[in-house]
A and B are shown apart, each in its own frame.
Chain A
Amino acid sequence: MRIGVFICHCGSNIEGTVDTATVAKASLDFPEVVYATDTMYACSEPGQDGIIQAIKDKNLTGVVVASCTPRMHEPTFRRAVERAGLNRYMFEMANIREHVSWIGKDREANTNKSVDLVRIAIEKLRRDAPLSPSKFSINKRVMVIGGGVAGIQAALDCADGGLQVVLVERESSIGGKMAKLDKTFPTVDCSSCILGPKMVDVAQHENITLHAYSEVDAIGGYVGNFQVQVKKKATYVDWTLCTGCGACMEKCPSKKNPDRFNEKIGPCTSINIPFPQAIPKKAVIDPTTCRQFVKGKCGVCAKVCPTGAIKYDMADEIVTEDVGAIVAATGYDLFDISKVTEYGGGRYPDVITGLQYERLLSASGPTGGHIKRPSDGKEPKNVVFIQCVGSRDKSLDRPYCSGFCCMYTAKQAILTKDHIPDSQSYVFYMDIRSPGKMYDEFTRRAMEEYGARYIRGRVAMVYPKDGKMIVRGADTLAGTQVEVEADLVVLAAGAEAAVGAPKLAEKLRISYDKYGFFMESHPKLKPVETNTAGVYLAGSCQGPKDIPQSVGQGSAAAAKVLALFSKDMLESDPQISRVDIKRCVGCGKCIITCPFKAIKEVEFRGQKKAEVIETVCQGCGLCTSTCPQGAIQLSHFTDNQILAEVNALCQS
């Protein structure tokens, strides 16, 4: 092999603490290295051209680039060596930026360590073999998990692009959090007026299959060919017959159940359609409160239903959907305000969340759009908004900013004035974060046109006194203590990962952070991709987002799916396991342990042997470390390659 080694300065990022010329010079002493040089920016166009030129001039058959992490530019350089006529797998990287120059300032030690890392890359490269991908067909259907605005956008864009879309929604209607909002900032558009038509489009789109009141149970397969088991939860109403007429809701005798759609500030019936614009507009029975289930007798809904849709004996049903890609758009849930005991959320009825306040503002909410405080139904005059409840608070293990609360609080202050002209709003805030288009202007309007009083400081406690809620806090700008007699206190509860998000992530085999938000593939350059091919993210499941960001991500995820499906065949990663049939004794230990069922038993001249199913193998290498005789080797990470790296490090 004729190896060329390129040591990147990365401007001063590497050169600042690594003597790249010395590393290049030292590389020449290693076996089969015929050319070594340092280069300013290996990834730039001149940098890549330099590599390509050297391959041609020096007849190189393998290349090592020492620069940044292979997680960043390995694909870049592989394409470059391929352009020069080499197999793209005859290439290795040494990470001397993230793992060397950026974590220590000792130039001598860094230079020395860089030489070691180049050396193990060379030893690995010497044992690389050219690999070529094989092709497999893809199923051009996509599943979108979550029917909030991000999921709706992703589903509609994919469907408009001609793909068959399966939309899975946990609740009985799509719409998500946005369907609960009254108005949206900074335009003060009516939320359901802009979301409603999109929901109808979903219902009417010929390419979209909607599984509402359903959850993803299990996921098998891989990019291009996933098998997803969807659990359709029992609704006890045959939706093929239900017309959504609502007769059952009128007659249902169990009327005092907390209405989840109304954030539990209003009652609902046991058989229920959550809101008038629901898609699908179908009734669901809650068996935990329905008298037929709880007491064993009632049957009123069954009697009044004009189509005979009520089925008390319905059971959960599993349907399997085969899809080629999955978009996760499972949104967020709210921080539990009762955890901040000093504010009294959960204890005092007049301390509510911002989302509950949305329901009080909404014309389709429990108060018909009249702001009435929960305790006595009176119209509040003084409304106090407290921001950052469960955001930017290390003591609650919620150090992150939820992003959209500053804006919706400003909106709610404006709407409060619209609804009750003689009211006064107070906003306790830490900082106002309004970096969107027209956002800061909007918060200014809340203060200047609508007279909301913004007080910079934290609230220490909230307690009831003579029918009022006393809010005591600090005004850090004035340096004084403040006490406000409030009729209603609205807490800007922070956004949290949706309940069950980590479980879904495990099914999808994607990563999630310590708060349960899904991890994107790269925080800047791959914001909607994940580390699992064929799985994309949209909306707040990746981190708190407002509506335009969520919609943007929904469309971005759809674009990724459409690009993926623009090909008829996908190339499989050839870094997979291969069986040396002579060495295999057919014990099947690899078959037992393979997480992907990618190895099968075959007969070869009357003997049992293992065989890797190329398109199913994901290249984890568990089989290689399981096989005692080393008969199954993961290409590009063979025993010999890792042993060569170990030996190189140990003998020096």
Chain B
Amino acid sequence: MRAPHPRRARRRASAARAALAAALTLVLAAACGGGSDSTGPTGQESSSGTAAAEGGTLRVGVPSLSTSDSLDPAAATTTGGYVIARQLFDTLVEYGTGGQVAMRLAESMEPDPADASSWTVVLRDAVWHDGTPVTADDVVATVQRWFSEQLPPASSLPFIDPARVTVVDEKTVHFQLGYPTMTFPDALTSPTTAIVPASFDPATPIGSGPFKLGAMEPGTRVTFTANDDYFVEDEPYVDTLEVISFPDSTSEANALIGGQIDVASAIDPTLIPIVESGGDGFDVFEYATTGTLTWQMNVEQEPFDDPRVRQALRLAVDRDQIVEQVYAGHASVGNDVFGPTDPAYDDTLAQREQDLDKARALLAEAGYPDGVDVELTAAPIQPTATRQNEVLVQQAAEAGFRITFNEVDSATYYGDAYGTYPLSLSFWGFLSIFDQAAFTIVDNAPYNATHWQDDEYNALYQQAVRTVDDAERTELVHQMQAIEYDRGAYVVAVFLNSITAHSTTVTGFEAYPNSDGPVGYNFSSLRFDG
């Protein structure tokens, strides 16, 4: 069962970097090879024009819908809410098939060339589900809505001043920011920033997205019908989309093999052989993502207040063993820094390997020659979370960490005690490096359960988000990542693969490495073949 919370924690990406198409990207592309259908990063619309059968009802299994699923994208905090938002609405931009920012409802998004203190967005020609055109007025109304008191806080869009978002012409909006930042486009990739009509009513949600809302049975299933006027040619391919909730991967895989669904998303990696045992009619679409189950070391408490103890735990972790034993090989190792698809990601940092002698030495140096007791608090927020924690307990024991694993349910985990755990495991990713920092690392980051603060890092961050030049900014980001690598408080051990099992009659799968969900929840490109 997947809990809604980690996603909520990722809401509203706020970060910089616009039309930069730098080189350092596809660290993950190498790891993508594990997929049985590795689809290269092609354009989102590359599928149009192929000879595929139109129509039909596509049934997609997801773990799990909830009664909290919102029809209002700005209020979405759950998997189901994100699924719904991606079908009914469009964001201005999205993380595309290479994990880079790509245009969606926007035709272009350009910064003030001098200092990124303002941004200009031009909309493409699109219509709402009721046939009226999407206009700049709608965008302005949507932005103002984000700051409404009735909705969850927009605190991760600190640079947007709703009073200074103005209509230039029918298709053009101008954002005068509170302060210059290159994180602007990243902030607008999150499904919670989907654009809605000025007259939006969540009870009858009208959007511009590939599907219209059919029937909704909260927590069980949501049905969508095709929007024939969608701006991407030929999409959506199917007439009807049914998103069906399953309590776990096993029942979802069973439903696939039994022919009750066509696509089973977010399959537990150890269950891949089960789908393969189902016969020739099934296949697995898999790609590496930036999603990670990350350990958070609380620097406000012993023993992780000492950077040597933090490095010791990082050195105690055998990342390859986690990939092999917990993920059956269907994951890639992490290097204690986030954002491997980000163009500014530093892939020159030496891959951290397990070094028990060094770990023990660091512990002794920090005053724990006989080892140290630590409590790990975590919830089963992903199918593999408990297993990953069990492996940590075991691996760290060899270095002298006596970890007590306290498993709680996710509502307890994210309750009032969140942020007070000495050691905990959370789900992060699907963000730019700047967003990740804004959420979990820099000064006043809202979800920083480690409470780690570093003045040098904060200064670099403030400088980097204001730097328009790609090369210069990349250099600053490298310095930030080097600091995290040397003295940070996260153990980023693995990046998860997105694993989608499906009937071979369904085609059109594409990798969205920096987007949450199977194929980034872009179900409109899926179609029945033959």
Judge: A and B partners, yes or no. Answer: no
B interface with A by C-beta (< 8 Å): none
